[in-house]
Amino acid sequence: MKMGQILQGLIIGIVFVLGGSIQAASIYLNNPGFEVSEPLVGDRPTTEHNWQGDNAELVGAQNGISPLSGSKMLRFINSGTVPGDGNGAEQWQLISLNPILSLVQTGNVEVSVSTFFNRIAGDAQTDTSFLVCLSAYNGLLSDFPQKWKSAELNGLSIGSLMSDSNANTWESAQATLLLPTNATYIAIMIGAVENIQNDLVNPEFDGHYADAVVFEYSVIPEPSALFLVLVGLFILRKKRFNL
Ligand SMILES: [Ca+2]
Ligand SMILES: [Ca+2]
Ligand SMILES: [Ca+2]
Ligand SMILES: [Ca+2]
């Protein structure tokens, strides 16, 4: 095999492997740092690229806590649109997989989300738990509220953390999910949990915040493409050292 052919093989393999990152801009999380005002409170969302869910607000520094990114952060207020017996304050964002559907169908697409959380020190009744949830669905975005309610999901990954009482530190939780081949959209949820005391009236959460969400997807290389690159590198190395 001539050097030109080896290089050609290498380039083909590398372009294939990098295919995912070339298209990475096509699906994205909107307002990941909570810097832009948007309506947050309502039912679970039925359209992509907007945060929506339980009562929450975008705030600047308060309660001795400063945003981790930019000048604003998300504050969780209630476990529903109003206070009640629910124990989880959730904000959701949907992302359609339509722009990368053919990649998803290969079964090699992995998605991940990480979020930072922080809270005030509070007292013995202050809740401490936060979570991030990544779920995958087959169908239309408009079906999401019903699908979540009836647990008709095709993939699920949850990351959780117990926060410390230091208002100066932000703690991070992550979730990663290898997408099922029939997934057509995903839902990202970040939340605070009343794990210490489920209040029925305000305040349900004493001062609980999220900021700097990062969403990424990557394409796990096909074995054949990786093989091509490795073979090319091996031949190249052999030739150089005349093994
Ligand atoms: Ca921010
Ligand atoms: Ca902290
Ligand atoms: Ca409650
Ligand atoms: Ca509580």
Rama region for 64: left / alpha / beta (φ>0; ψ in -120 to 50; rest): left
CA of 22 to the centre of ligand 4 (A): 44
Q: From the CA of 58, how far away is ligand 1's center (Å)?
A: 9
Q: Which ligand is nearest to the CA of 78?
A: 3
Q: Give the ligand with the smallest distance to the CA of 196.
A: 4
| Residue 52 covered by a domain | yes
Rounded to the nearest 5°, which phi and psi values hold at 71? Answer: -115, 0
Of the ligands numbered here, which is closest to the C-alpha atom of 211? Answer: 1
List the single range of 20-24, 116-120, 198-202 with lowest mean pLDDT.
20-24
The verdict on residue 235 lying in a domain is no
Residue 232 resides in a domain: no
Give the count of domains, the chain.
1
Residue 76 placed within a domain: yes
Contacts for 11 with CB less than 8 Å, ≥ 6 apart: none
Q: Vertex 105, ends 102 and 106: CA angle to 5°?
A: 100
Domain containing 77 equals 25-221
Beta-carbon-side half-sphere exposure of residue 148 (alpha carbons within 13 Å)? 21
CA angle 58, 62, 66 (to 5 degrees): 85
Q: Tell me, what CATH number does 174's domain have?
A: 2.60.120.260
Give the environment of ion ligand 4: residues with CB less than 5 A: 127, 194, 197, 199, 204
Does some domain include residue 199? yes
Taking residue 18's Cβ as centre, other Cβ atoms within 10 Å add up to: 14
What is the reported pLDDT for 21? 46
Q: How far is the CA of 196 from the centre of ligand 4 (A)?
A: 7
pTM of the entire predicted model: 0.84
Residue 20 has pLDDT above 50, yes or no: no
For residue 215, tell me if it sits in a domain: yes
User: Which pLDDT score is estimated for 12?
Assistant: 42
Residue 235: predicted pLDDT: 65
Q: pLDDT tens digits, residue range 193-239?
A: 999 999 999 999 999 999 999 999 999 987 776 666 676 666 666 66
